[in-house]
Amino acid sequence: MIFGNVQNLEEYPFLEEQVKECFEYAKEHDLAGYEKGSHEIDGDRLFVNIVEYETVAAEERFWEAHKNYLDVHLMLHGTEQIDLNFIQNMDVKEFVPKDDFLPMDGEKNSSVILRDGDFLICYPSDGHRTAVAVNGSEKIKKAIFKVRI
């Protein structure tokens, strides 16, 4: 996983070209103005999901990971905690191929707090639990780029 802010992208020259493409797209498009839902960028190779939801207590959320796509979470408005752990530390359930969804249970070993402009890149070994409230429930808007690997 890689956690950072778009103001400091020059510190990440090692990022995969497909990930850099996400940040270029975000710079050239007003994602905050996009409607909720999935928006194609380059077929199933690269697309962005715009989500809006209320953050909640960690106990009300689920753990997930993905095998076919990287997630690039980019906070547009709001504050959200994302809990993290490596999938080898988790109780992994059955993979759902059509949704690229690997459910799991377990405890966090760290977390990050995303604020406007912050990003989190989750790789296949990065279990994550999103939508966790920081200081009470809050409505957030976030872009989640899906990068086929």
**For domain 2-148, which CATH number applies: 3.30.390.30, 2.60.120.370, 3.30.110.40, 3.10.20.740?**
2.60.120.370
73-121 pLDDT, tens digit per residue, is 999 999 999 999 999 999 999 999 999 999 999 999 999 999 999 999 9
Q: Where are the domains of the chain?
A: 2-148
Over residues 119-130, mean pLDDT:
98
pLDDT the model gives residue 108? 97
pLDDT the model gives residue 29? 98
35-63 pLDDT, tens digit per residue, is 999 999 999 999 999 999 999 999 999 99
Beta carbons within 10 angstroms of residue 16's beta carbon? 12
Q: What is the pTM of this model?
A: 0.96
Which region holds residue 57: left if phi is over 0, alpha if psi is between -120 and 50, else beta? beta
